[in-house]
Amino acid sequence: MTSQPPGSTVEARPDGPEPDPALPPTELPAAERERESRWTLPKIILWAAIALLGGVSWTMLAIVRGETVNALWFVFAAVCTYLIGYRFYSKVIERYITRPDDRRATPAEVRADGKDYVPTDRRVLYGHHFAAIAGAGPLVGPVLAAQMGYLPGTIWIIVGVLLAGAVQDYLVLFFSMRRGGRTIGQMARDELGRIGGTAAIIASLLIMLIIIAILALVVVNALGESPWGVFSVAMTIPIALFMGVYLRYLRPGKISEVSMIGFVLLMAAIIAGGWVAETPWGAELFTLDRTTIAWGIIIYGFIAAVLPVWLLLAPRDYLSTFMKIGVIVMLAGAVVLVRPEISVPAFSEFAGGELGPVVSGTLFPFLFVTIACGALSGFHALIASGTTPKLIEKERQTRFIGYGGMLMESFVAIMALVAALSLDRGIYFAMNSSAAATGGTVEGAVAFVNSLGLIGVTLTPELLTSTASAVGEESIVSRTGGAPTLALGIANIMQQLFGGPALAGFWYHFAIMFEALFILTAVDAGTRVARFMLQDSIGNVIPKFKDTGWRPGVWITTALMVAGWGWILILGVTDPLGGINTFFPLFGIANQLLAVIALAVVLAIVAKRGPSYVRWLWIIGVPLTFAAIVTITASAFKIFSPVPQVGYWSNHFAFRGALEAGETSFGSAQTVEAMEAVVRNTMVQGILSIVFVTLAITVVITSLLATVRAIRAGGGETHEDAPVASRRFAPQGFFASRAERELERRWDELPADVRPASARH
Amino acid sequence: MTAIASRRSARTLSVRAGAAALGRAGRAVTWYVRELMGDTAYRTYLEHHAATHGAEVEPLTEREFWRGRMDEQDQNPGARCC
């Protein structure tokens, strides 16, 4: 694996740009790299131990069936598998697909402008990239997929990230970097031509709207009828405004300082929320129904997207980055210290059927769309092809940042899964079954959950009311969307470490708060990006719209985009069938579809690199085929399935038939209006499914055509920037090797006027 | 007597070494947080400016720099993932 196999298909490297003889080497000499990758006894022992621990952990999870399984095995299985995947598989990709050349300068070096293009320390950039890709997605999907048992979700998250998610992120990052940071849409146009490129751009715009709408739906469900949550999340707005003004007028540039202040204020807001919710006026003022909250978020989304960035978006983004890194470190530490026992079966009663109450549909393909973020997330292609490639210092670092960054997101997903699994199953299903099933009452939930026939589960009304009051909520019945379940799981784990039951309410609302923070940041930023895409598209017809400083244009396009996601959000909130269980699959399908597009673009790029790459195309072909099959079958189920819980159209026609027959109630819809709402919602969902699958198939076909053409011609046109000789050096991974440190020292010893400007202070 | 003195000095030495290690770790964390959050962006700009324009062009002041940076973000929004 580490030394060049005899008869390798890799041709000698093309000559790189001529290095400056006055400078030390800009890459580790090949002999040095070879020496470092040689197997020594300590290395063999270390990797054997990692493999052994991973193997034992997987055995404990998959084969040994005790009453319970300890959460620690999830952590070990995940970390050991990630290490092996990173050490071995990502190196295969580096050697045969990306083939980085550190003699070439990166865009950050060539176009260095001190602002957008800045060679950034790899460890810092890793944090930046992680903060940009990870949000509420990996926290929500695994929670919903827990209904199928712990094993399907665990396997997909860990294996999926190694073979699909991390591969996509790494390759998109690398090829975008070779193209000066071009976006995935621009690359699609370059590589696939007009039709494929246009389909890719329309798909990204639609997908962005769906993703914003469904994330907002998660927040609405978490805050509905929860005065404590509404108060503390609403307080993030004045806190962010204060931070914005502080940075603008009082102390510009003191970002860590103001984030610290913001964090303290946020904690105060959570604690104060508990008091306010206790008071009669607080309960009166902040107990809002879900439709009101949805309208609040829509109005807020519009205002936030037209306000200047410095006032609201940037400060909240700082706060969210600050919380993201902190919370994940805290949660991982807590799981390891508390080591909760998990009593959920490996495969639940719903793993084999398609009528699970949380999300409907069979394990294949719906597990793979329910868990998108954390295993394979197409949205990352937008990040990996935007900001990050402009900040890479050396080409070889893309493996650590792209592949390694996604592994970290996958780890977050595993943590979320563990937190959800640590809950009592009766409580889990009471929280995640829609109000259409439970009636939204404790009695209804108890009757429904006990009728599911779950082995070893007898839910009592006392358990539900006491759990709700322990976290300071009125009720936990039908709090769908994943966020409240995760918050309860986190509260459960954290209170065992800090504060005991007295602090359970604080931890619950702390978790709700950070999920809301991530989602609201994604809502603002997503609305802005979508508005720019729309301005650009309309600008092709009416040039005035391209002027981003023209306020009426900004307002019109923002209003259009907000109306787009706001409409879907309202449909979801008022859906008589529940909302999350019917709309969440669209989120997953949309996200995986974007992954299909990204992988299809990368496939064409690699095929065009030349004949020596053809043998290795399976590295992209495997995740591409899998994701394409998943999205296309999932869409086909949603379009054609005769089971009303699964197929949008069969539900649509069932309700339409009932209406035409003059019935006034049907299924869980008790009124004619509710029946009409189902007819309308299923039509929207059905149409979106058709549009998505058509766009995906278009992109895949154009990509396959481009790929076959390139293979036949022995390569194709490259859109890479011309190579420029690098004039700097930096290590490739998190830790610098001895030889890398030695070489770094030689660069540091250069006189100041020859040494490259460095972001390391 | 000498044995006690040397033991004491050994202890102060190890305390000192521990404090030094803690100090290094603290500095590393502070460095990381400041870089990650972007506190050092103005300094990076100044260094870039000095390296490319030398002294003949006056660099932006700190306030101007941060305003410009925010205005630029207004023009080029970055996506945040889910």
- Residue spans of alpha helices (H) in chain B: 2-37, 41-53, 62-75
pLDDT tens, position by position, A30-61: 888 889 889 999 999 999 999 999 999 999 99
A521:B80 CB<8 A? yes
Q: Choose the closest CB to A127 out of B36, B51, B52.
A: B36
- Closest chain A residue to the Cα of B28, Cα to Cα: A761
Interface contact B72, partner A, CB < 8 A: yes
Asked if ipTM goes beyond 0.95, one says no
Q: pTM (2 decimals)?
A: 0.93
- Closest chain B residue to the Cα of A128, Cα to Cα: B36
Interface contact A324, partner B, CB < 8 A: no
Domain-located, residue A145: yes
pLDDT tens, position by position, B29-58: 999 999 999 999 999 888 888 888 877 888
Query: What length is written for chain B?
Result: 82
Query: In sequence order, what E strands does A1-137 have?
Result: 69-70
- Closest chain A residue to the Cα of B52, Cα to Cα: A113
pLDDT tens, position by position, A667-686: 878 889 889 999 999 999 99
In chain A, the percentage of residues whose pLDDT exceeds 90 is: 74
Give the count of Cβ contacts less than 8 A between chain A and B.
132
A567, two tokens: 């409409």
Instruction: Give the SS3 label for residue A669.
Output: strand
Q: How far is CA A417 from the centre of its chain?
A: 14
Which A residues in the span 215-244 are in contact with B, Cβ-Cβ below 8 Å? 215
- Residue spans of alpha helices (H) in A661-758: 672-713, 738-748
Reduce the secondary structure of A302-363 to three states and give it as a string. Answer: HHHHHCCCCCCHHHHHHHHHHHHHHHHHHHHHHHHHHCCEECCCCCCCCCCCCCCCCCCCCH
For residues A54 and A567, give the distance between their C-alpha atoms in angstroms, rounded to a whole number.
46
B36:A321 CB<8 A? yes
Interface contact B8, partner A, CB < 8 A: no
- Angle at which helices A313-338 and A404-421 pack, to 10 degrees? 60
Closest listed residue to residue B38, CA positions, set A139, A710, A127: A127
Contacts of A309 (CB under 8 A, 6+ apart): B70, B73, B74, B77
For residues A231 and A121, give the distance between their C-alpha atoms in angstroms, rounded to a whole number.
39
Cα separation values, A696 from A102, A198, A467, A607, A714, Å:
35, 12, 44, 20, 27
Q: Tell me, what's the pLDDT at A481?
A: 92
Q: What is the largest CA-CA distance in chain B?
A: 74
- Closest chain B residue to the Cα of A255, Cα to Cα: B39
In chain A, the percentage of residues whose pLDDT exceeds 70 is: 97
Question: pLDDT confidence of A122, banded at 50, 70, 90?
Answer: very high
Q: Tell me, what's the pLDDT at A11?
A: 45
State yes or no: pLDDT of A323 exceeds 90. Answer: no
Average model confidence (pLDDT) across chain A: 91
Q: List the single range of A176-185, A365-374, A731-740, A752-761 with lowest mean pLDDT.
A: A752-761
Q: Give chain B positions within 8 Å (CB) of A529.
A: 77-79
Element (H, E) at A239: helix A227-245
Cα separation values, A745 from A101, A400, A738, Å:
21, 22, 11
Q: Tell me, what's the pLDDT at A759?
A: 43
Domain-located, residue A618: yes
Q: What would the mean pLDDT of A382-402 be, rounded to a whole number?
A: 94
Q: What would the mean pLDDT of A347-365 be, rounded to a whole number?
A: 90
B69:A548 CB<8 A? no
Question: pLDDT confidence of A113, banded at 50, 70, 90?
Answer: confident
**What is the per-residue burial (b if ≥16 Cβ within 10 Å, else e) of A192-208?**
beeebbbbbbbbbbbbb
Interface contact B64, partner A, CB < 8 A: no
Q: Tell me, what's the pLDDT at A384?
A: 93
Domain-located, residue A311: no
Closest listed residue to residue A198, CA positions, set A190, A207, A189: A189
CA dihedral defined by A212, A217, A220, A221, rounded to 10 degrees?
A: -150
Q: Give chain A positions within 8 Å (CB) of B47.
A: 114, 757
Q: Are A425 and A345 in contact (CB under 8 A)?
A: no
Q: What would the mean pLDDT of A57-73 be, rounded to a whole number?
A: 91
Question: pLDDT confidence of B14, banded at 50, 70, 90?
Answer: confident
For residues A99 and A101, give the distance between their C-alpha atoms in angstroms, rounded to a whole number.
7
Q: Give chain A positions within 8 Å (CB) of B32.
A: 123-124, 127
A459, two tokens: 């839910």
State yes or no: pLDDT of A285 exceeds 70. Answer: yes
Q: What residue numbers bound the domain in which A677 lies?
A: 86-105+121-212+346-422+567-713
Question: pLDDT confidence of A188, banded at 50, 70, 90?
Answer: very high
Which A residues in the span 435-494 are in contact with B, Cβ-Cβ below 8 Å? none
Q: Are A414 and A158 in contact (CB under 8 A)?
A: yes
Name the minimum distance, in Å, from the CA of A281 to any CA of chain B. Answer: 35
Instruction: Give the SS3 label for residue A198.
Output: helix
State yes or no: pLDDT of A14 exceeds 80. Answer: no
Question: Other CB atoms closer than 10 Å to residue A499's CB: what's the count?
Answer: 13
Interface contact B55, partner A, CB < 8 A: no
Closest listed residue to residue A489, CA positions, set A508, A517, A503: A508
Q: Are A605 and A196 in contact (CB under 8 A)?
A: no
Domain-located, residue A629: yes
For residues A662 and A675, give the distance between their C-alpha atoms in angstroms, rounded to a whole number.
11
A761:B32 CB<8 A? no
Domain-located, residue A630: yes
A321:B79 CB<8 A? no
Interface contact B37, partner A, CB < 8 A: yes
Q: Tell me, what's the pLDDT at A5?
A: 44
Question: pLDDT confidence of A761, banded at 50, 70, 90?
Answer: very low
Name the minimum distance, in Å, from the CA of A364 to any CA of chain B. Answer: 23
Domain-located, residue A412: yes
Domain-located, residue A362: yes
The domain total for chain A is: 1
Q: Tell me, what's the pLDDT at A477?
A: 95
Domain-located, residue A221: no
Q: Tell me, what's the pLDDT at A257?
A: 95
Interface contact A315, partner B, CB < 8 A: no
Q: Tell me, what's the pLDDT at B4?
A: 66
Name the minimum distance, in Å, from the CA of A98 to any CA of chain B. Answer: 25
Q: What would the mean pLDDT of A201-220 be, rounded to a whole number?
A: 91
Which amino acid is located at A440 in the chain?
A: G
Q: Choose the closest CB to A215 out of B41, B74, B82.
A: B82
State yes or no: pLDDT of A569 exceeds 70. Answer: yes
Q: Tell me, what's the pLDDT at A7?
A: 39
Q: What would the mean pLDDT of A709-724 be, rounded to a whole number?
A: 93
- Closest chain A residue to the Cα of B74, Cα to Cα: A309
A431, two tokens: 């929280």
Q: How far is CA A487 from the centre of its chain?
A: 18
